[in-house]
Amino acid sequence: MNSRLIYVGVIGAALAASPAIAQSNDGSAPKAASQSSQAPPSTTPPKGEDIVTQQAQDEWRASKLIGVSVYDPENKKVGDIKEVLMGHDGSAKSVVIGIGGFLGIGTKNIAVPFSALQWKTENREVPAADAGPTNPVASTGGGKPPMQKVDSGAVEAHQGYPDKAMLDMTLAQLKAAPDFHFAPDPTAQNEQASQGAQPRTPSKSNP
C-alpha cells in the first residue's frame, strides 16, 4: 500500500513539472536569465594624429580667403576672390575671381589654378617689447616709441588670410578670358528632359 502511494506521488510530480518544461522549451514562458547590457561608449581618447589642436603658421582659414583682393602685375586691383574649389583629397584646385562690375552688378567670374596666384602680406610694426618705460618724447623726439616688425607669416596665421593675391594677368586679359561656370544641377536637367519628352495633346481646330 505504501509503495503504491509513493509510485502515484512520483507520477503526479512528473506530470506537474512537464508543462513548465514544455513552456521553457517552446519559448512561451519568460526566461529567467538576465540579458547582457550594451557596452558603454569608449572613453579612450583618439590617437594624437587624428586630432588637431592648433592652427599652424602656414595655414589659412578657407572661409577667410573669400573676398581677398586680387591685383595685377602693376599692383592694380582687378577683382576679388569669390570661391575656392577644393579637390576630394583636400587640396585647393582653382580660385574663382569676380572682375568688373560695380557693387557686384555685372561682375564676370573667371577661374585660375590656385598655383597661379601669389599671396602677399605686409609686415606689421608694433611697439618694441623691450623699449622700457622711457619718455618717448625725449627719446625719439616725435612721441613715437621704438617699433619692431612682426613676421608676415604670424600675421597671416592670426587673421586667417593674406593681405592680397597677385595674378600675372591684366584686367584686359581677364575680361577677354572665357567665363567660369559652376557645375549644373543634373536633377534639373533630367526634369527638363522628361518634360520635353512628354507628348503634346493635339489641339482641336475650330469647325
**Structural domains of the chain, with CATH:** 62-118+162-180 (2.30.30.240)
Distance (Å, whole) CA 175 – CA 68: 19
pLDDT single digits (tens) 151-170: 888 888 999 999 999 999 99
- For residues 53 and 206, which has the higher predicted lDDT (pLDDT)? 53
Determine the pLDDT at residue 12. Answer: 53
Distance (Å, whole) CA 141 – CA 113: 50
Lowest-confidence segment of 10-19, 155-164, 194-203 by average pLDDT = 10-19
Residue 120 phi, psi (nearest 5): -125, 140
Cα torsion angle, 153, 171, 76, 109, sign? negative
In 82-151, which ranges are continuous DSSP H helix?
A: 136-140
pLDDT bucket at 134, cuts 50 / 70 / 90: low
Instruction: Please answer whether residues 111 and 94 qualify as being in contact, where contact means their C-beta atoms are separated by less than 8 angstroms.
Output: yes
Residue 22 has pLDDT above 50, yes or no: no
The string of DSSP letters for 170-185 reads -HHHHHHSPPP-PPP-
pLDDT single digits (tens) 62-121: 999 999 999 999 999 999 999 999 999 999 999 999 998 766 567 899 999 999 999 999
* Rounded mean pLDDT, 24-45: 59
Instruction: Please answer whether residues 164 and 120 qualify as being in contact, where contact means their C-beta atoms are separated by less than 8 angstroms.
Output: yes
Determine the pLDDT at residue 179. Answer: 96
Distance (Å, whole) CA 128 – CA 136: 12
Residue type at position 13: A
CA atoms within 13 A on the CB side of 105: 2
Determine the pLDDT at residue 200. Answer: 58
User: Quick one: which of 14, 48, 180 has its CA closest to 109?
Assistant: 180
Residue 4 has pLDDT above 70, yes or no: no
Report percent pLDDT > 90 for the chain: 40
Q: Which of 27-31, 129-133, 145-149, 155-159 has the highest mean pLDDT?
A: 155-159
